[in-house]
Structure 1
Amino acid sequence: MIQQMYPAPMHSYRYELNKDFQFAAAHYVPHEDAGACRRLHGHTYFANVTVVGNDLNESGFLVNFQDIKNLIHKRFDHTVLNEDSLFNEMDPNHFPTTEVVARKFWEVIQESLNKLPNAPRCVQVFLRETPTSYVIFRPQEEDFQ
């Protein structure tokens, strides 16, 4: 069980859902300044996703916890992130750094949430790459457009 506290995003929504999960993946950062990270290596990532909203769905959920986990875990667990179509080696905004991975996870999650009639929003993705290093991605209002 993952038991840790995460920085909380500010919001005024009635409901806040947080889903913790972990997955194992390998990656490399294709840039000369990445040092040792230029070589293929792996991590057991720990993620926390925060979803907010004012209305529950017909099942009484803001969103099903399992749906959030499956969006990321099924796609990325035991993979090489660089091989996924979300990433490429030509643009640093698409290198699989922890910062970019957190943003890409937000994009995948929010794209799914956009299809729901109760209009939940993902307001934070916390992604821990190592025991001492993590990134938080918080979208800006224009990211929801």
Structure 2
Amino acid sequence: MFQQNYPSVQHPYTFELNKDFNFSAAHYIPNEDAGKCMRTHGHTYFVNLTIVGDKLDHNGFLVNFSELKQLVHGQFDHYLLNDLPQFEGKSPSTEIVAQTIYEMVQTSLDQRSNQPKCVQVYVRETPTSYVVYRPKEQRNHE
């Protein structure tokens, strides 16, 4: 994976964890005004998750890095995103992919006793295009 600088998030937490990973998947945007994106095509998506918190678990982790990768990579790698239940009724644009990853990750984090929070999901679709998703409720912690 290439070295990447990501937009930073201001937050009041003691710890910040960042996890990079990628997955390969195909998608299409099912609207005529999407142009060429209306046709099925694939990407290698590069993802960075920013997780924050004040308390560590019994291993001294906010969350295990491998759990974060498996949570997303295991669900999306080598799939047609349009066929996945997470995108039912949604167009799997990069914005929606980032938001969906946030929802999956935060739902998992909510089960942890140390209550870490996902404050940013960065999804790069191509070398020149990326999306950053930040949940609104986290912006008020500045």
User: Given the two structures, how large is their TM-score scaled by the length of structure 1?
Assistant: 0.93
| 2:58 alignment partner in structure 1 | 58
- Report the Cα offset of residue 2 of structure 1: 2.8
Residues 49-104 of structure 1: CA deviation (Å, up to 9, x unaligned): 0000000001110100000000100110011000110113x4xxx21000000000
2:121 to 118, 125, 128: 125
Uncovered stretches (5+) of structure 2, i.e. residues with no partner: none
Separation in 2 of the partners of 1:2 and 1:17? Answer: 18
Separation in 2 of the partners of 1:108 and 1:118? Answer: 17
Separation in 1 of the partners of 2:2 and 2:115? Answer: 28
1:116 aligns with 2:103: no
User: Given the two structures, how large is their TM-score scaled by the length of structure 2?
Assistant: 0.95
Question: 1:27, 1:40 within 8 Å by CA — same for their partners in 2?
Answer: yes
| 1:36 alignment partner in structure 2 | 36
Separation in 2 of the partners of 1:61 and 1:53? Answer: 10
| 2:49 alignment partner in structure 1 | 49
2:98 to 97, 102, 119: 102
Question: 1:2, 1:20 within 8 Å by CA — same for their partners in 2?
Answer: no
| 1:2 alignment partner in structure 2 | 2
Separation in 2 of the partners of 1:13 and 1:2? Answer: 27
Q: Which amino acid aligns with 1:11?
A: H
SS in 2 for 1:86: helix
SS in 1 for 2:87: coil
SS in 1 for 2:86: coil
Question: Structure 1 vs Structure 2: percent identity of aligned residues?
Answer: 56
Q: Which amino acid aligns with 2:10?
A: M
- Report the Cα offset of residue 31 of structure 1: 1.0
Uncovered stretches (5+) of structure 1, i.e. residues with no partner: none
